[in-house]
Structures are given as C-alpha cells and as structure tokens.
Amino acid sequence: AKSVSNADWLMNHIYRGEYFCGFCSRMMNSLEDYLFDSSQDIGKRRPQAIETLFDALLVSGMAMTIVGTSAPASGGEHLLSHTLDMMAGVDGLGHDLHGRQVGVGTILASALYERIFKIDRPRCVDMPSNIDAFWGRLAGSVGEQYAQKKPQLAVLREKLNDQKIWQNFIESARRQVRPPQQIKNCLKTAGAAHTFSELKCSRQRFRDAVLRMHQIRRRPTVVDLAWLLGVLPAAADEIINEWLSK
C-alpha cells in the first residue's frame, strides 16, 4: 500500500498544502524493495522474510506516529477495505481480513494512477454532489464525511487547471507508484488475495464498493482524483476486468 498512499500524500501536499515529511516517506520506501524481493519467501513463511514484513509494519507505525496522521501508510487503497467492512455492517454479508482487502485495493489504486499518468492536460468533470441511498443506516455518517470533503475537492478542482502544478505532481507521483502488474505479482507470489473473488465478494458487490469508496472519508485520495478527471466511473469495469478478475 505504501507506494500509492505516499502518492496520495504527495497529492495533498502539492495541491492542498498538507505537511509532507520526506524523511518518513524515504523511511517507508526503504523497505519496499525487500518486501517485493521477499514475496516468495513470505508465501513460504520463511522466518527472515516474516521478520522483514514485521520490520515494514513497525516502520509504518513509526512514520504515522512521527507525522501524527495515517497519510504515510493509508490512502485510497485503504478505502476499499473500509467500504467493504461498512457494507458488511449494513447487510451482514461478511467481509475478509483487512490486509487482504487492502492488497486488492492497492492494485486498484495503482491502476487508477496508471490511467491518470496518461493525462497530459487535466479536464475536470462534475462529481455527484451527494451520496445516495446505498449506505442505509450509515448514510448520516458517510454524508457528513463527504460534505466535509467537498470544499477540499473544490480547491483541488481549481488547481488542476494549473499545468505547471499538474506536471510537478505527475513527475513526483510517478516516482512513488509501482505498476499494478508488479503489485499483483507480488501479492500472488506471497499467497495473498489479488482478485475480488478471493475476498469472497461478488463482482457486483465489489463494483458497488469501487464506485462509493470515495465517499467515506474526508481526505482526498487518488479515487477522488479519478472521479474529478472522469477516469471513474467510466473505466471501473475495464479496471476490474483487467486487474482484479483473474
């Protein structure tokens, strides 16, 4: 999750002036190569690889503690897991483990970034102004978060017209985000979930989560950026088919 969560953190730094700690970002990135290189050994439960995994978790916690926010380790990829959990709370159909859901969410977030990186000049489209009846008894809480996000999205929308800022963001984010294929291969090799079916989730349920996950938290992420730029909802089915179905 760290490469995409750091890119989301950079987005909020560049476009909204949120504090970004380069030291914490580098600290997080320093262990990522080891995790990708150790994915097969993690899948085989080899002690040295598990130790590396725990080191990464500890460093993640340290980074969040230093900056006083979850931004270094939690971006748009985490929203998928939280959304699936919340849906289960509404209809009682259950959900998978947080880490497995976040892994699939990381592939999704990377795939969104992959499409965003191909946009030379951003042109914003209108986003839904409110949440729908989908959330049931959670509608009040979700609606409150979404209402708090809308002023931030207005700022983001206005600044997306500045080509210089856009190029700065794209160049910075590209250095952070790993390709979806690399993330998927790593998860698969480690024996982790990398498709929606492995989360015991139907395609329709997964699609519902993808198209509503941006509503649940006030901090903007790549998912909001994808909506503002028209990547979502238009490309949702293509991304699910290409990266998350098999």
pLDDT in tens, 178-219: 999 999 999 999 999 999 999 999 999 999 999 999 999 999
User: Is 37 within the bounds of a domain?
Assistant: no
pLDDT in tens, 131-172: 988 999 999 999 999 999 999 999 999 999 999 999 999 999
User: Is 33 within the bounds of a domain?
Assistant: no
| Overall number of domains in the chain | 1
Dist CA 59 CA 55 (whole Å): 6
The token pair at 38 is 């150790």
User: Is 137 within the bounds of a domain?
Assistant: yes
For residues 211 and 234, the answer to whether their CB atoms sit within 8 Å is no
User: Is 170 within the bounds of a domain?
Assistant: yes
pTM exceeding 0.85: yes
Kindly state the greatest CA–CA separation across the chain.
50
User: Is 10 within the bounds of a domain?
Assistant: no
CATH of the domain at 155: 1.20.1090
* Structural domain boundaries, residue 186: 74-244
User: Is 57 within the bounds of a domain?
Assistant: no
Number of continuous H segments (helices) and E segments (strands) in the chain: 13, 0
